[in-house]
């Protein structure tokens, strides 16, 4: 099964200059914990609810003034939409991430897949369980 069949396609990006307060509000409104950070249609990082908590709030940064670019994860991990779900899950495991940006072959953002998306897929529960186990071991 190709990852395009299970990925979330309604992906919202946030700009690097967005405040953490604004980014967190978007996460709350959309009930998500992950935002790709895009600058001129180029992915330059990712922001998670965990990043906000550990890199900003725990360090007593002002969420109304601190910018996404100040705490985002700059290393971007991605897979392509035509890759097999098992291959993507293996990549998530190797990179120790619970969410993966999905690009088309023109390297345009087309979706995001989470370990939860993999878990909901018939026949892929074993793959997602193993992936989550490997991610959790390194954490």
Q: What is the pLDDT along the chain (139 residues), one digit of tens a residue?
A: 999 999 999 999 999 999 999 999 999 999 999 999 999 889 999 999 999 999 999 999 999 999 999 999 999 999 999 999 999 999 998 998 999 999 999 999 999 999 888 888 756 556 555 655 565 565 5
Expressed as residue numbers, the domain containing 112 is 3-138
> Which residues, listed in sequence order, are joined to residue 101 by a DSSP beta bridge?
78, 112
The CATH number of whichever domain residue 74 belongs to comes to: 3.10.580.10
Count other Cβ atoms within 10 Å, centred on residue 105. Answer: 9
- The pairing of strands 34-39 and 42-48 is antiparallel
What 3-state class would DSSP assign to 112?
A: strand
Q: Domain tally for the chain?
A: 1
Match 């705490």 to its residue by tokens: 71
Overall pTM > 0.95? no
């Amino acid at each position: 099964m190709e990852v395009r069949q299970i990925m979330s396609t309604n992906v919202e990006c946030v700009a690097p200059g967005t405040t953490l307060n604004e980014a967190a509000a978007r996460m709350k409104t959309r009930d998500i914990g992950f935002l790709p950070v895009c600058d001129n249609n180029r992915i330059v990082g990712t922001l998670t609810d965990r990043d906000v908590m550990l890199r900003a709030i725990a360090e007593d940064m002002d969420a109304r003034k601190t910018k996404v670019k100040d705490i985002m994860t700059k290393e971007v991990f991605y897979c392509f939409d035509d890759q097999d779900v098992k291959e993507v899950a293996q990549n998530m495991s190797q990179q120790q991430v619970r969410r993966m940006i999905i690009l088309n072959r023109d390297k345009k953002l087309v979706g995001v897949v989470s370990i939860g998306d993999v878990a909901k897929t018939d026949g892929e529960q074993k793959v997602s369980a193993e992936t989550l186990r490997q991610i959790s071991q390194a954490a």
